[in-house]
């Protein structure tokens, strides 16, 4: 049985990661810039926590129900 390590990401690091990703949102077309930032505000802490638990990004996507094949909660990540 594979043992999964769980890491606690310090608050300051979480905030730095979210700030960095929000800056990337600023590089996106205007019509998705605000939804991108809202996604980070809504799901950022959860995504960081799940990734810190060594979950596959696809598992994270399914867990927060924002990827194709799940009931969408956020339009920014839906599509091909």
Q: Provide the number of structural domains found in the chain.
A: 1
Residue 30 lies in a domain: yes
**CATH number for position 55:** 1.10.225
Contact 60, 51 (CB under 8 A): yes
Summarize pLDDT for 19-65 with one digit per residue, the tens.
999 999 999 999 999 999 999 999 999 888 888 888 888 888 888 88
Let me know if residue 6 belongs to a domain.
Answer: no
Overall average pLDDT of the 59-80 stretch: 63
N-to-C CA span, the chain: 35
Residue 41 sits in which domain range? 11-77
Q: Provide the whole-model pTM.
A: 0.67
Residue at 50 is within a domain: yes
């Amino acid at each position: 049985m594979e043992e999964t390590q769980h890491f606690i990401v310090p608050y300051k690091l979480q905030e730095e990661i979210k700030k960095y990703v929000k800056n990337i949102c600023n590089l996106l077309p205007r019509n998705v810039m605000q939804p991108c930032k809202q996604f980070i505000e809504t799901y950022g802490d959860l995504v960081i926590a799940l990734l810190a638990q060594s979950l596959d990004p696809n598992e994270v996507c399914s867990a927060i129900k924002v990827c194709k094949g799940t009931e969408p909660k956020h339009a920014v990540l839906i599509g091909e």
